[in-house]
Amino acid sequence: MKYAVLGDIHANLEALTAVLEKARELGVDGYLCIGDIVGYNANPRECLEIMRLLNCEVVTKGNHDEQASSEMELVGFNPQAARAIEWTRRQLSEEQRVWMAGLPYRQTIGARMTLVHATLDMPHMWGYVFDKYSAEVCLGYQFTQICFFGHTHVPLAFEKYGTVVGGPYEEVRVQANHKYLINVGSVGQPRDGDPRAAFVTYVPDEHLVQLHRVEYDIHAAQGKIIAAGLPDRLAQRLGVGR
Ligand code: ZN
């Protein structure tokens, strides 16, 4: 089995299409998603339909998915993100909203893997894991060997074997009795200074997690953001990966 783990797609159809093409090239035969399918970019309907047709084994809910599928007051979002969520609410069908609203915050697959968008301790509070200290808290609530997560849009891997170490990665060799908390990076709005789309593959039998970066038509995605009347800043940030 070779899984692709996708997250923080954020309605970026060009990035998602490029990532799925790469996944097919790599021989992926199972899909997992840690959430935030919508928000920020201009193709929420299309990205949602593609993700649903993929028949992912698990999709967990992101904070943008939660907000876009409800009429909740927007708290804790910057003004550009809030504008994009209001816009996204008007794009989705009722059926799409109901599907997103029903997604779980976290999900465990067998004895091996857990998926969550933000953190395991209080997944609905949307905290951030960005260093080994916040990783350690999250690892305290992790009862499988591997947990894939997202939310910061920065691919980092943390490993616990006694103490917690971690940082940027290209691949992780999974060792017995070690625990791993792995941020899969963002398909649709990377923020680590590399504008290419990010996702990981995981082959349980080979104990191997690999990060992949994929070029896509950023210019086309930016043009759609402007044409939709979404904030310019959301187009600009795709070009610099911030
Ligand atoms: Zn996100």
Residues with CB under 5 A from ligand 1 (ion): 8, 36
Give residue 43 CA to ligand 1 midpoint distance, Å.
15
Give residue 218 CA to ligand 1 midpoint distance, Å.
18
Per-residue pLDDT for 38 more than 90? yes
Give residue 64 CA to ligand 1 midpoint distance, Å.
7
CATH no. for residue 124?
Answer: 3.60.21.10
- 181-226 tens-digit pLDDT: 999 999 999 999 999 999 999 999 999 999 999 999 999 999 999 9
Per-residue pLDDT for 76 more than 90? no
Which amino acid is located at 6 in the chain?
L
- 108-143 tens-digit pLDDT: 998 889 999 999 999 999 999 999 999 999 999 999
What are the contacts of 191-196 at 24+ separation with CB within 8 A?
191/152, 191/153, 191/154, 191/237, 191/241, 191/242, 192/153, 192/154, 192/155, 192/168, 192/241, 193/240, 193/241, 193/242, 194/241, 195/238, 195/239, 195/240, 195/241, 196/241
Give residue 176 CA to ligand 1 midpoint distance, Å.
31
Per-residue pLDDT for 77 more than 90? no
Count of domains observed in the chain:
1
Give residue 7 CA to ligand 1 midpoint distance, Å.
8
Of the candidates 24, 34, 99, 86, which has an alpha carbon nearest to the alpha carbon of residue 60? 34
State the chain's mean pLDDT as an integer. 96
Q: How confident is the model at residue 166, as a pLDDT?
A: 97
Domain that holds residue 54: 3-240
